[in-house]
Structure 1
Amino acid sequence: QNKTNAIYLEVFDYWSKRTFCEILLSELGIDRPRGTIATMMMQALRLLQDDPNRLMIIDEADKLVDKGMIELVRDIYKGARIPVLLVGEEQLPQKLARYERCENRVTAYGMANPSDLDDARALAKIYHPKLMFGDDLLVEVVRQTRGVASRIVTSLAEIGQFARANGLAQVALTDYTGSYFTGQAPRRAR
């Protein structure tokens, strides 16, 4: 699945404990998981214990805390003894504080830094490997998006469409006449 063989779960608002278990087992290679939550958790723990160095990354982990499901993650950490990386909103540490048994297992907190030019270059190579972006354009993308990676990716997609529509193999700031995704809602013209 990826270079590190990590298990990656992106939590959604509609998830229940059952959904969490089903998605986890699916990530672990189980086709059509079934059973009670307890049965599925035990199966997941057995599979995870086979590789104790395998990392589990849980994105939007604050949603698990909000729904009272973070104890499932603690059970996985405790039962499988694997490293777990929780990714979430800025308030995740404060939310975890309500669950002392989970908070006690946190070994480090880190905050995401805004993306910079090097990050924008890397994202451009990943998402548009055949398109050459001028550094001046990437600097403007980072500025307009305030370094938010998801906005950079969306802006790069816009630029990619612009380049295709105009038959360009490379795009510099002076070439690009499109918009950037800033996260701001468009305003009605008056």
Structure 2
Amino acid sequence: MKAVIAPVKNVLTAQDAFDNLCTRGIGVPGLGLYHGPSGFGKTTATTYLFNQVNGIYVRAMATDSASTLMNRIVGELGSSGMWRINKMVDFTIEQMSMYERPLFIDEADYLMSDVRMLETVRDLYDNTEVPVILIGMDQIARRISTRKQFFNRISEWVEFRPADLDDVMVMADSLLDNDIKVEPELLDELRKASSGEARRIVIGLNQIERLAKMNELDYVTAEHWGAQPFHGVRRPSLVG
């Protein structure tokens, strides 16, 4: 399969929201929130964005404190870190401001249980006004609404939704090798079996591609695929 990002609706919406943050008017806050269930493509879309703009990307962890999170951010900025937290915050503010490097924090749900971590991220934004994007699960929007000082700084909210058939068709066209095409009926079966989860759709497309290559097919139909599952144990070939 091709190593590209398929331009599905979630990716395009995330891109549009980020562009809005970068071009926002005076007085419009610059925090964004991408949220939704696991497997809907949040991390993939974020990776695509931060690579385009030389952003800073970190993943929060369950064991993080404000100090360990800042140490990881400083490391992404090319420094060894291990300073006092106020020095790490000052260094990050300087780098974000000087080079206009937006900050992306994945697994941001972990910030919600530590006020100091959340307030440290707010300090980074308040002192730079460079966009900061939080990426979290579907409950983060509700949880963050109780943190009014933070909540009021978010101007772009993107809820990642299940892929529809158009999205699956875009993914097939973008990702499959050798110009392999897939019957829409089979793609819709994959969508249903995957519950619209981008990660599982990619796994299913990979299996369809394998079937096509093993059987020298340039167009795969539901009849070719048969009743085998898209995930789990599969037969290697169905075409005689």
TM-score range with shorter-chain normalisation? 0.7 to 0.9
2:92 is equivalent to residue 48 of structure 1: no
Contact residue 152 and residue 181 of structure 1 kept, 8 A: no
Choose the corresponding residue for 1:145, options 179, 186, 194: 194
The structure-2 alpha-carbon separation of the partners of 1:180 and 1:66, relative to structure 1 and needing over 3 Å to count, comes to: farther
What is the match of residue 16 of structure 2?
A: none
Across the aligned residues of Structure 1 and Structure 2, the Cα RMSD in angstroms comes to 2.8
User: 1:60 maps to which residue?
Assistant: 107
By how many angstroms is 1:78 displaced?
Answer: 0.8
- 2:51 match: secondary structure: coil
From 46, 58, 61, give the equivalent of 1:9: 58
Kept in 2, the 8 Å contact 1:96–1:102? The answer is yes
Secondary structure at the aligned position of 2:224 is classed as: coil
Which consecutive unaligned segments of at least 5 residues does structure 1 have?
183-190
Instruction: Quote the offset at 1:146 in angstroms.
Output: 1.8
Gaps of 5+ in 2: 1-49, 233-240
Shift of 1:162: 4.5
1:77 Cα deviation after fit: 1.0
- Structure with higher RCO (Cα < 8 A, 6+ apart): 2
Mark the CA change 1:136 to 1:107 in structure 2 (over 3 Å): closer, same or farther: same
1:112 lines up with 2:160 in the alignment: yes
- Residues 78 and 145 of structure 1, relative CA distance in 2, 3 Å threshold: same
User: Are 1:158 and 1:179, in contact at CA under 8 Å, matched by a contact in 2?
Assistant: no
Provide the residue aligned with 2:230 in structure 1.
Answer: 180
1:102 to partner: Cα distance? 0.8
Q: Answer yes or no: is the 8 Å Cα contact 2:180–2:209 preserved in 1.
A: no
Cα distance between partner residues in 1 of 2:56 and 2:137: 20
Alpha-carbon distance between aligned partners in 2 of 1:5 and 1:31, rounded to the nearest angstrom: 16
Q: Secondary structure at 2:104's aligned position in 1?
A: strand
How many residues in Structure 1 have an aligned counterpart in Structure 2? 180
**Greater alpha carbon shift after TM alignment, 15-24 vs 137-146:** 15-24
Percent identical pairs in the alignment equals 28
What TM-score does the superposition give when structure 2 sets the normalisation length?
0.62
